[in-house]
């Protein structure tokens, strides 16, 4: 009984840590869309499409998380936003319909698993509505 209770508590704590990992502001966040097509990077540096995806809304930010499997990387490889030609795009449901950010990282393992996380600051989250998530993920900045 005691062991089962400890396992259950550990499982709940683990789930909360995973679910709240991005919400450093103390905001638990909520998923506003999941299961849509998202563009990520494979181990060869080229884009691939994934459908394991979630768009999270927090009080002051929105976070896009996508995961998929593709070509393996020779070693654990990180691709970052910033000054490159790729931006992360979310069909966010804002008034202008699209949100872009250079605040993203895509981690690709030697087994081909790719995990993309994009963070979008929200000056006013009250304008946000649910999204269809179509055409989200990494895109080339024109």
Whether the pTM exceeds 0.75: the reply is no
Name the band, by pLDDT with cuts 50, 70 and 90, for residue 4.
Answer: very low
- What pLDDT does residue 92 have? 58
Contact indicator for 136, 66 with CB cutoff of 8 Å: yes
**Residue 18 belongs to some domain of the structure:** no
Contact indicator for 25, 125 with CB cutoff of 8 Å: no
Lowest mean pLDDT among 13-17, 41-45, 64-68, 107-111: 13-17
**Residue 16 belongs to some domain of the structure:** no
Q: Which domain holds residue 103?
A: 26-140
**Residue 3 belongs to some domain of the structure:** no
Task: Report how many domains make up the chain.
Answer: 1
Number of H helices, E strands in the chain: 1, 11
Contact indicator for 122, 128 with CB cutoff of 8 Å: yes
């Amino acid at each position: 009984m005691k062991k089962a209770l400890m396992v259950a508590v550990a499982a709940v704590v683990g789930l909360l840590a995973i679910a709240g990992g991005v919400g450093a502001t103390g905001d638990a966040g909520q998923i506003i869309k999941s299961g849509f097509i998202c563009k990520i990077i494979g181990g060869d540096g080229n884009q691939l499409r994934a459908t394991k995806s979630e768009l999270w809304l927090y009080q002051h930010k929105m976070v896009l998380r996508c995961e998929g499997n593709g070509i393996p990387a020779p070693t654990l490889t990180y691709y970052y936003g910033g000054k490159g030609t790729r931006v992360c795009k979310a069909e966010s449901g804002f008034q202008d319909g699209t949100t872009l950010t250079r605040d993203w990282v895509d981690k690709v393992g030697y087994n081909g698993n790719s995990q993309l996380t994009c963070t979008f600051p929200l000056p006013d989250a009250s304008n946000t509505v649910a999204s269809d998530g179509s055409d989200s993920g990494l895109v080339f900045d024109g």
